[in-house]
Amino acid sequence: MTVLEEFEATVAGVADRVGASVVGLGRGWGRGSGVVIAPGKVLTSAHNLRRDSIAVTFADGRSETASVAAADPDADLAVLSVDTGDAPVLEWADDEARLGKPVLALANPGGRGLRATFGLVSSTGRSFRGPRGRRVTDTLEHSAPLPRGSSGGPVVDTAGRLLGINTLRLEGGLIVAVAGTAAVRDRVTALVRGEAPTRPTIGIYLAPPRAARRMRLAVGLPERDGVLIRGVSEGSAAERAGIERGDLIVSVAGQPIVRLDDLYEAVDQAAGDTVELGLVRGTEERTVTVELAA
């Protein structure tokens, strides 16, 4: 058998073993993919979810409606409850991905059929921002190309064992996946049990500091370090505290805020049920006390 024939046999063998575990979410190219992680449970990316239920299409063409068992948007992971029938559970790899490791990425974009591509791990330990802005650090980057609608599908080793969940495409065609580290596996196990993590929130939508600097300069305001509020949730603690869109958060509990991560860390570490925010509105500075909610 030639090298190319061995390669073909490896890819085909993995696709045969893993393909039945890969599902499509939604209809057409617009949604995503997932993987059977336990009987009756499908693991996917949290950003694929728009409602409390979603159509799931299995490899045999069967379609079922799934409900959200639990989600962790800050890690971009979610588990769905659905009748998985005879679809096999995909097992985690014994070891974590390393630089140069051969991998296969699989997907069933919107239920339109199995895709399987080959690549190599090009980087580990990278980070990206999850759907709610918090940084996700347990990641791997690989070169197996994927089409739109592949997020939430698995990246596996050449034995067909789960290494991570494909999440987003970068410029140049590289793919970033949430890696199956020990911490991520613990999170997934909790999600399978229906246990969603809770973190303190105040009900605001944020823009990165570079956007804040550009916007202030555009309207003739002096440049300030801080995090710009681009929206306030209706009925939230932030709204009750009088926070408005366009306010700039410059401190939390007296500590200066320069990066988005500074804000998240300060809120997570806040003692008690309230937190004090230093705001700049135009050129006016003020301090507000905001209740924390889970």
Q: What is the pLDDT of residues 26-65, one digit of tens each?
A: 876 568 999 999 999 999 999 999 888 899 999 999 999 9
User: How many angstroms separate the most distant Cα atoms in the chain?
Assistant: 75
Q: Which residue has the tokens 């090298």?
A: 3
Nearest CA among 94, 89, 83, 67 for reference residue 22: 89
Side chain identity, residue 110: G
More confident residue, 37 or 196: 37
CA dihedral sign of residues 45, 50, 54, 56 = negative
Average pLDDT of 195-200?
A: 85
Contact at 8 Å (CB) between 98 and 117? Answer: no
Are both 3-192 and 204-291 of the same fold? no
pLDDT higher than 80, residue 73: yes
Q: Could you state, in order of their start, the residue ranges of all structural domains in the chain?
A: 3-192, 204-291
Across the range 176-191, mean pLDDT stands at: 94
Q: Are 187 and 179 in contact (CB under 8 A)?
A: no
Instruction: Decide if pLDDT at 20 tops 90.
Output: yes
> What digits encode the pLDDT tens for the residues 75-133?
999 999 999 999 999 999 988 888 999 999 999 998 899 999 999 999 987 788 777 77
- Whether residue 204 contacts residue 232, with contact meaning beta carbons closer than 8 Å, is answered with yes
- Of 116-120, 122-126, 194-198, 208-212, the least confident: 208-212
* 3-state DSSP of the chain: CCHHHHHHHHHHHHHHHHHHHEEEECCHHHCEEEEEEECCEEEECHHHCCCCEEEEECCCCCEEEEEEEEEEHHHCEEEEECCCCCCCCCCECCCCCCCCCEEEEEECHHHCCCEEEEEEEEEECCCEECCCCCEECCEEEECCCCCCCCCCCEEECCCCCEEEEEEEECCCCCEEEEECCHHHHHHHHHHHCCCCCCCCECCEEEECHHHHHHHHHHCCCCCCCCEEEEEECCCCHHHHCCCCCCCEEEEECCEECCCHHHHHHHHHCCCCCEEEEEEEECCEEEEEEEECEC
284: amino acid identity, one letter:
E
Q: What are phi and psi of 109, to 5 degrees?
A: -55, 110
In the CATH scheme, what is the code of domain 204-291?
2.30.42.10
Q: CA–CA separation, 31 vs 17, rounded Å?
A: 24
Output the pLDDT for position 140. Answer: 93
Chain-centre distance of CA 89, in angstroms?
Answer: 21
For domain 3-192, which architecture applies? Beta Barrel (2.40)
Q: Comparing 129 with 204, which gets the higher pLDDT? A: 204
| pLDDT higher than 70, residue 13 | yes
User: Alpha-carbon dihedral of residues 67, 69, 73, 76, nearest 10 degrees?
Assistant: -90
Residue 1 pLDDT more than 80? no
Does the predicted model carry a pTM greater than 0.95? no
Greatest mean pLDDT among 132-141, 172-181, 265-274: 172-181
Structure tokens given for 267: 């809120």
Q: Whose CA is closest to 45, among 172, 182, 184, 160? A: 184
